[in-house]
A and B are shown apart, each in its own frame.
Chain A
Amino acid sequence: MRGDPEAHELIAPGTLAAVLALLTENPGQWTPIAGGTELMVAHAGGRLEMKKLVSLWGIAELRFVESRARSFVIGAGTTFGDLRAHAEMAAELPLIAKAASWIGAIANQNRATIGGNLVNGSPAADSSPALLAYDAEVELISGRGTRRVAYSDFHTGYKRNVLAADELMFAIHVPRRFVKHRQYLRKVGPRRAMAIAKVALGATALVEDGVVSEIRLAAASLAPFPTRLYQSEAAVLGRPVSAETIQAARNALLAEARPIDDIRSSAEYRRRVGANLLEEFLLALRREARP
């Protein structure tokens, strides 16, 4: 059944300070809405539970990409279209632009924001594996000030995160130290556009003196929230990328993955394809590591 627009209040204070003041005065009562590509779908289906919504759309303080010496800082209100169009960041951190191109299609990318994608916290979130592979941090803001949290610690459960009732996501900080890393990102879904991931894997790794000196592996749809694959990383770290290492990594992934059966895929399919993606990445890493 379609949602009733009169059943919801929506206000647009217009500035970040005004939104934060509202959240400070009424913690937990107002739900932020940015481009609406998630909440308006729920509204269309009559499933939008939140009665009070505060618009973040059009707040310029949240929509920016800042190129700093040691990081790119992405405002939470930056759209995926903005991220695809940022040539400097796309050249250096290509996984972010690639993930942005996965979001729906052009009309969705022009409205969906990276902060919305992360705060919504879908296990299948398209931007999450890339940000986890890049060891990103998120900056949270409230009337009390700002704090930074490793993105790998942001999600705490299915659609749960560390945001306090008066906090907003302000920005994502992505370190600029992956130029020499092997970088990988692949999504498996039913079609290229408009599809939600059955499974996705993001990875960055460095091979020095014949052994893997640094590795980050991150998955969508292999757990109740986007997550690093720490045991799979441990199976590879400090070892040469041999057939034995690859097999051990596959086994680790199969052991630590906690996918579900749903309308998009089965847990078993997700587990096996996740292991295949990891193997694809490690084989590429091995080819590159050979002199």
Chain B
Amino acid sequence: MSGAWPTIHFLVNGQSCAVRAPAMKRLLDVLREDLRLTGTKEGCGEGECGSCSVRMNGELVNSCLVPVLQAEGAEIETVEGLARNGELHPLQRAFLECGGAQCGICTPGMLMAATHLLARNPHPSLAEIREGLAGNLCRCTGFVRIFDSVIAAADSTEARADQAAHAR
């Protein structure tokens, strides 16, 4: 069947790529297997957990639910694109400083969802952070520290006032 595979062109973290793959191959698998970008994780494979979150044309998506043919011509951003010139992204620094990562499986998805949230809403409230990350599950139950990390990176005074709610 490989003779019938289409060649799909897209940008990943600013670099142009051409991949020959079955049209129904998941973007997640193309990133991990064909492009060796293994930062994007698979959790549930059903769009429930957010571990495979990437941005596609500026929209947060679950890469496990995107057939790669639908990524033709798209700009894809993965966790590997967050750090620049050896400098961690402010969200990555905040996750380190606030203990926002435990086992790490959810972390790339959390970082991409948080990146997407802050791109749309630079100073979110705690409720907005909760909604922005609602599709991302952490099985280490580290949600409070993950929210704290986003608040720290966003330097949101409104969210900081809400942080007292965590103590309850």
One digit per residue, 1 when the CB lies within 8 angstroms of any chain B CB and 0 when it does not, for chain A 1-33 equals: 011011011111000000000000000000001
By a CB distance below 8 angstroms, the chain B residues around A108 are 47, 62, 135
Known: A108-B135, A110-B61, A194-B134. A53 touches B46 (CB 8 A): no
Q: A40 contacts B47, CB within 8 Å?
A: yes
Cα A192 to Cα B64 with chains together (Å): 22
Known: A105-B135, A107-B50, A194-B48. A10 touches B60 (CB 8 A): no
User: Which of B9-17, B20-28, B138-146, B153-161 forms contacts with chain A?
Assistant: B20-28
Q: B134 contacts A5, CB within 8 Å?
A: no
By a CB distance below 8 angstroms, the chain B residues around A57 are 70
Question: Does chain B have a CB within 8 A of A94?
Answer: no
By a CB distance below 8 angstroms, the chain A residues around B21 are 5
Q: B64 contacts A44, CB within 8 Å?
A: yes
Interface size counted on chain B using CB atoms at 8 A: 33
Q: B61 contacts A107, CB within 8 Å?
A: yes
A35 nearest CB neighbor, chain B only: B65
Known: A10-B24, A108-B135, A193-B135. A45 touches B69 (CB 8 A): no
Question: Does chain A have a CB within 8 A of B45?
Answer: yes
Q: How far is the CB of B28 from chain A (nearest CB, A)?
A: 10
Q: How far is the CB of A280 from chain B (nearest CB, A)?
A: 23
Q: How large is the interface on A (under 10, 10 to 19, 20 to 34, 35 or more residues)?
A: 20 to 34
Question: Does chain B have a CB within 8 A of A245?
Answer: no
By a CB distance below 8 angstroms, the chain A residues around B53 are 107
Question: Does chain B have a CB within 8 A of A87?
Answer: no
Cα A45 to Cα B132 with chains together (Å): 27
Q: A106 contacts B131, CB within 8 Å?
A: yes
Q: B62 contacts A11, CB within 8 Å?
A: no
Known: A44-B64, A110-B59. A12 touches B69 (CB 8 A): yes
One digit per residue, 1 when the CB lies within 8 angstroms of any chain A CB and 0 when it does not, for chain B 53-73 equals: 100000111101111011010
By a CB distance below 8 angstroms, the chain A residues around B117 are 106
Question: Does chain B have a CB within 8 A of A104?
Answer: yes
By a CB distance below 8 angstroms, the chain A residues around B59 are 81, 110-111
Q: A40 contacts B64, CB within 8 Å?
A: yes
Contact of A53 among B24, B45, B47, B116 (CB under 8 A): B24
By a CB distance below 8 angstroms, the chain A residues around B23 are 5, 8-12
Q: B25 contacts A5, CB within 8 Å?
A: yes
Question: Does chain A have a CB within 8 A of B1?
Answer: yes
Q: How far is the CB of B48 from chain A (nearest CB, A)?
A: 6
Using a CB-CB cutoff of 8 Å, which residues 103-126 of chain A contact chain B?
A: 104-108, 110-111
Contact of A5 among B22, B66, B72 (CB under 8 A): B22
Contact of A55 among B47, B70, B136 (CB under 8 A): B70
Known: A108-B135, A193-B134. A44 touches B45 (CB 8 A): yes
Q: How far is the CB of A97 from chain B (nearest CB, A)?
A: 14
Known: A5-B24, A53-B24, A106-B116. A44 touches B70 (CB 8 A): no
Q: B60 contacts A110, CB within 8 Å?
A: yes
Q: B70 contacts A107, CB within 8 Å?
A: no
Q: A107 contacts B135, CB within 8 Å?
A: yes
Interface centre among B25, B70, B117 (most CB of A within 10 A): B70
Q: B22 contacts A107, CB within 8 Å?
A: no
Question: Does chain B have a CB within 8 A of A265?
Answer: no
By a CB distance below 8 angstroms, the chain A residues around B48 are 194
Cα A194 to Cα B130 with chains together (Å): 13
Q: B69 contacts A10, CB within 8 Å?
A: yes
> Which residue numbers of B lie inside 8 Å of A, CB to CB?
1, 21-26, 29, 45-48, 50, 53, 59-62, 64-67, 69-70, 72, 113, 116-117, 131-132, 134-136
Query: A36-B67, A37-B65, A106-B131 are known contacts; what are 11 more A-B pairs with Cβ within 8 Å?
Result: A2-B45, A5-B25, A5-B29, A10-B24, A44-B65, A104-B135, A106-B117, A107-B50, A108-B62, A108-B135, A111-B61
